[in-house]
Amino acid sequence: MRRIIIGTAGHIDHGKTALVKALTGIDTDRLEEEKERGISIDLGFAHFDLPGGTKVGVVDVPGHERFIKNMLAGVGGIDVVLFVVAADEGIMPQTREHFEIVSLLGVRHAIFALTKSDMAEREMVEAVEEEVREFIEPTRFKDAPIIPTSVVTGEGLDGARRLLEEIVAKVEERPLGEAVRLPIDRVFTMAGRGTVVTGTLWSGSIAKEDRLEIQPGAKPVRVRSVEVHGESVERAFAGQRTALGIHGVEKIEVERGHCVVSPGDFEASTVVDIEFHLLASVDRPLETRTRIRFHLGASETIGRLFLLDRESLLPGEACFAQVRLELPVAAGFSDRFVMRTYSPMKTIGGGRVLDPLASGHKRKDRVVLERLTVLANAPLEGAAEEHIKASGHGVRLDYLRKKLSCGLRVLEGVTADLSRAARIFEISPGLYLHTERLRDLEGRIEGVLKTYQTEHRLVWGMPKEELRERLRSIDMNFLSWVLGRLEAAGRVSTRKGDVRAGTGGVQLSPAEEQARALVVDLLKRNLFAPPGEREIEAGARIPAEAVRKVIRLLVEEGEITRLEPGLVMHHSAIEAATAQLRTYLKEHGEATAGDLKTALGTTRKYAVPLLEHLDKIGVTRRKGDKRTLVG
C-alpha cells in the first residue's frame, strides 16, 4: 500500500480549502474563527481515495502571510504539492512565497490548479495558465500539469483526481527504516485516550505499546493507540498522517514542533551545522550573526545565523553556516529547513542540515569547511566515515546514531562495511576509529617516545601514564590497544608500565658501557655483600649522575635489583640466595633472619633487605621472627 501526503499551497482566498473539500468531502476549516472569517488560520487535514484506490492524506495550509508559521508546520512532510492559483487573479505575493517554501523543502512533484475558473473569462484563464507556465519554467516544476478547476461547476475535479493519481504513482515512497520520527503539529486531550498528538510520520513505523520519547527533553512515552486517517490501526508507517494516544506526558508538556522519536536515534541541540541557500529574490546581502527564525518540521525556533566562510552572503548564493538557537530542536541529518527573518518575518532561504549535533567552531576553519563539504555530498556511508574521521579518539555508535539519525541496524551495517574495507577499526565494542586517525595517532606516539628517549637517553622507556597525558589524556584502554598493534608490528616495545620506540635497547657511550661493566662486575664479585651505590659511583670514571642513570637502567632492564635506597644486588645473587634458602628451609622447615644470614654467609646489613625482597616476590613468608617457604 502506497503512503503519500498531498499538501496545498497558494495565496489567501484562492480556494485551497474549497478545492480540498470538493476532492475529499471534508471541510478542513475546523476552528470557529476560521468559519466566521471565511479564511484558514491553522492547518487542516483530510484524506480521500484516488480513482485507483490509493488512499492519500491531505494537509491544507493557510494562505495569509500572517500564518506562514502555521503553513510551514504542515508542509515539511508532504510528497506532492497541490498548488492553487485563482484564475481570476493570477500569481500573487503568497503564491511566490509558498512556491519558494515548497521548493526549499525539496518537494519534487506538483499539480497546479487554476481555481475559480467559473469566475473568469476563458481568455483570462488562458492568460493565467501562461503566467503560471512562465513562472515555473526555470524550476524543477516546469513540466508540472496545470488544470483549470471550479468547485461550483465541477470543472477539472475529475481531471485533478486523475492527475494526482498519475503523479502519486511516480512518487518515491519514504523508506521505512527503523528510526521513528513524527513531528507534532497538533496536541489535544480526549476522554479515554489522554494526551493525543498528530503529525505526518516522517520515518519508521509506530505500533501500540511502543516505547518512544518526546524530543526535546527525551521524555519517555508509551503508545496507547494509533490512528491513520481517523481509523484505529495496529501500526502506522512512514508517509501516513498519524494520531497517537500517548501515556507518560500531560498535554501541557508537549507542543507543536516537538517530535515523537525512537529512543537513541535523535537528540535535540541548539547548535546545527547547515548548507544554506539565500533566495535570489531577497533584496540585500545577508550578514553573518543575523537573527533569524529556523523552521524545521513543525517547529519554529529563533536563533542566529553564522556564515562559516564569509562575512555576508549575496542573494542567490549558498554557503556553509551554523545556526545557534535559543531553544533546542530535534534535527536529523539531511533534514530540509526554511529560514525567515526575525522581524519583519519574511522567507529568505533554506537548505539542509549537515550536522544536527554540531559543536561551536571557529569561522573560516579549513578543516571544518572540508568536513562539511564531505557531509553535503556524501551518501550515508561517507557521512558516517567523515564523523568517525573527525575524532582522534574514536566515536561511539550511540553518538553516531544521533549524528546520522538512521537507526541502529542500518548504522551497524554501514560500520560493518567500512570495517571490512579497512576504513575504520572497532577498537572496543561500539567504539570506532578511522584508519587515518589511527595512523596519525601511531605516528604521534612514536614521535613522543623518540623525543622522550632523546631527552632521557639512559632511561629505558617512558611511563604509559605520562605518554597518555602527553597525548591529551586519551583513554588508557584505547592507548593500550594502539600500543598492542604497534608492538605486534615491531614499532614499540613495552616492559611493565613503560614503553619504548623500536625494539632495541638503550645505546650507551663507550664511557657508559665501561661504567655498566664496572657495576655488573662489582656486584657479581660481591654477591651477598655488594658495595653501596655511593661506593660504586666513587669507583667509576664518569660523573656520578651518569653512574646513577646506568644503575637505574640496569634496574629497569632487570639485571640488578634495588633492595632499598642505596643498595642494589645482581640478579644472580637473588637467584643464588633463593636456591640456598629453599634448600635450607626444606631441611629445617623454618628459620630466623639470623639463621638465614648465617646460611648465606653475609651480614645483617645485607641479609634483612634481601629477605624482605624474597618475602615480597613470594619466595618466603614471615611469621613473627621466623620465615618459611611459600608453596
Length of the chain: 631
pLDDT value at residue 134: 96
For residue 40, pLDDT beyond 70: yes
**CATH number at 514-631:** 1.10.10.10
3-state SS class at 629: strand
For residue 38, pLDDT beyond 70: no
pLDDT band at 533; cut points 50, 70, 90: confident
The grid coordinates of residue 50 equal 484516488
pLDDT band at 212; cut points 50, 70, 90: very high
Question: Beta strand 211-215 with 241-247: parallel, antiparallel or unpaired?
Answer: unpaired
Judge contact between 429 and 481, C-beta under 8 A: no
> Hey, how many other C-beta atoms are within 10 angstroms of the C-beta on 97?
20
Judge contact between 196 and 188, C-beta under 8 A: yes
- The yes-or-no answer to whether 4-170 and 378-507 have a common fold is no
CATH fold for the domain made of 378-507: Arc Repressor Mutant, subunit A (1.10.10)
Among 569, 627, 562, CA closest to 599: 627
pLDDT band at 348; cut points 50, 70, 90: very high
Run of H or E including 449: helix 435-455
Least confident of 22-36, 130-144, 324-338, 607-621: 22-36
Judge contact between 57 and 45, C-beta under 8 A: yes
Digit-coded pLDDT (tens) for 41-66: 788 889 998 888 888 999 988 877 77
Q: Give the chain's mean pLDDT.
A: 91
CATH fold for the domain made of 181-261: Elongation Factor Tu (Ef-tu); domain 3 (2.40.30)
CATH fold for the domain made of 4-170: Rossmann fold (3.40.50)
For residue 516, pLDDT beyond 90: no
Separation of alpha carbons 427 and 415, rounded Å: 12
Judge contact between 460 and 556, C-beta under 8 A: yes
pLDDT band at 318; cut points 50, 70, 90: very high
The superfamily (CATH) of domain 269-368 is: Translation factors (2.40.30.10)
Which range has the top average pLDDT, 169-183, 212-226, 451-465, 509-523?
Answer: 212-226
Least confident of 119-128, 213-222, 474-483: 474-483
Per-residue b or e along 33-67, where b marks 16 or more CB atoms closer than 10 Å to that residue's CB: ebeeeebbbbbbbbbbebeeebbbbbbbbbbbbeb
Calculate mean pLDDT across residues 532-558.
82
For residue 541, pLDDT beyond 80: no
3-state secondary structure 90-148: CCCHHHHHHHHHHHHCCCCEEEEEEECHHHCCHHHHHHHHHHHHHHHCCCCCCCCCEEE
Calculate mean pLDDT across residues 333-345.
94
pLDDT band at 423; cut points 50, 70, 90: very high
Among 178, 196, 213, CA closest to 250: 196
Among 184, 178, 221, CA closest to 297: 184
Calculate mean pLDDT across residues 197-208.
94
Q: Between 191 and 349, where is the model more confident? A: 349
Q: Which residue's C-alpha cell is 498528530?
A: 198
pLDDT band at 36; cut points 50, 70, 90: low
For residue 67, pLDDT beyond 90: no
| Domain layout of the chain by residue ranges | 4-170, 181-261, 269-368, 378-507, 514-631
Digit-coded pLDDT (tens) for 581-625: 999 999 999 999 999 889 999 999 999 999 999 999 999 999 999
pLDDT value at residue 35: 67
pLDDT value at residue 432: 93
Judge contact between 346 and 293, C-beta under 8 A: no
For residue 70, pLDDT beyond 90: no
pLDDT value at residue 1: 65
Whether the predicted model's global pTM rises above the 0.85 cut: no
For residue 259, pLDDT beyond 90: yes
For residue 81, pLDDT beyond 90: yes
Digit-coded pLDDT (tens) for 438-467: 999 999 999 999 999 988 887 888 999 999
